[in-house]
């Protein structure tokens, strides 16, 4: 199953559910996240699974416009290794932290189309093993995250979302993600 069929399935589920009030798309929230991740570093790119959590809060500023923010913590399994002559060098994307503001427009009374922008900090780990010694170093990169998504309230406080985000870090390090989220407002 590829990343686009996962996103299409969640989007179909979002629009097939029952209607809720626009007020249910505001307030504090927590969500579990799962999706696809492509990390590029030093002219190499690798894809993998991304998973994590996010917390946020949204406010209605008009009958159709919602603003808010979120903090997200994601882990992933993207890893690239090269082996030759008994030696191995690996590059692995580790965690990603982000703090972003978002603005959304209610496209239906239970569906929010939104854009987000903010700060991100990602970690990448490089290891080298020559068969005798193993050396590893981790580096953090600061960057900017930009994204867009669709969030839908199922009923009561339960919601789901599909989101694309791009993060550009320093030192030729970037990340593309397609995330599905399932959360609850409180």
Alpha-helical segments (H) within the chain: 3-16
Q: Are 72 and 59 in contact (CB under 8 A)?
A: no
- Alpha-carbon distance of 145 to 131, in angstroms, equals 39
pLDDT of residue 12: 46
DSSP label at residue 61: S
pTM value is: 0.81
- Alpha-carbon distance of 26 to 185, in angstroms, equals 8
Q: Which of 71, 67, 70, 93 is nearest to 80 (CA)?
A: 93
Q: Are 150 and 161 in contact (CB under 8 A)?
A: yes
Q: What does pLDDT average to in each consecutive run of 10 residues of the chain (186 residues)?
A: 51 43 77 94 84 96 93 91 88 90 93 97 89 88 96 89 95 90 95
CATH class of domain segment(s) 3-185: mainly beta
pLDDT of residue 19: 43
What does the angle CA 120 – CA 149 – CA 182 come to, to the nearest 5 degrees?
90
pLDDT of residue 142: 95
pLDDT of residue 21: 46
Q: Which of 53, 137, 67 is nearest to 104 (CA)?
A: 67
* 5 three-state secondary structure: helix
Q: What are the extents of the domains in the chain?
A: 3-185
Q: Are 73 and 55 in contact (CB under 8 A)?
A: no
pLDDT of residue 168: 94
CA distances to 46, 53, 68, 128, 165 from 80, in Å: 6, 25, 36, 12, 22
SS3 content of the chain, % helix, strand, coil (to 5): 10, 75, 15
Furthest-apart CA atoms within the chain: distance in Å? 65
């Amino acid at each position: 199953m590829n990343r686009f069929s996962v996103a299409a399935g969640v989007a179909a589920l979002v629009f097939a559910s029952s209607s809720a009030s626009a007020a249910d798309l505001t307030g504090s929230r927590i969500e579990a996240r799962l999706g696809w991740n492509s990390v590029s570093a030093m002219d190499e790119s690798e894809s993998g699974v991304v998973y994590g959590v996010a917390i946020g809060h949204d406010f209605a500023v008009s009958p159709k416009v919602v603003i808010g923010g979120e903090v997200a913590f994601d882990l992933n399994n993207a890893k690239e290794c090269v082996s030759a002559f008994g030696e191995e060098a690996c590059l692995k994307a580790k965690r990603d932290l982000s703090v972003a503001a978002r603005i959304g427009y209610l496209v239906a009374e239970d569906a929010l189309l939104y854009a987000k922008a903010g700060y991100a900090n990602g970690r990448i780990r490089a290891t080298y093993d020559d068969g005798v010694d193993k050396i590893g170093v981790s580096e953090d990169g600061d960057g900017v995250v930009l994204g867009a998504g669709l969030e839908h309230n199922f009923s009561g406080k339960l919601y789901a979302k599909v989101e694309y985000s791009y993060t550009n870090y320093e030192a030729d390090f970037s990340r593309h993600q397609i995330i599905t989220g399932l959360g609850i407002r409180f």
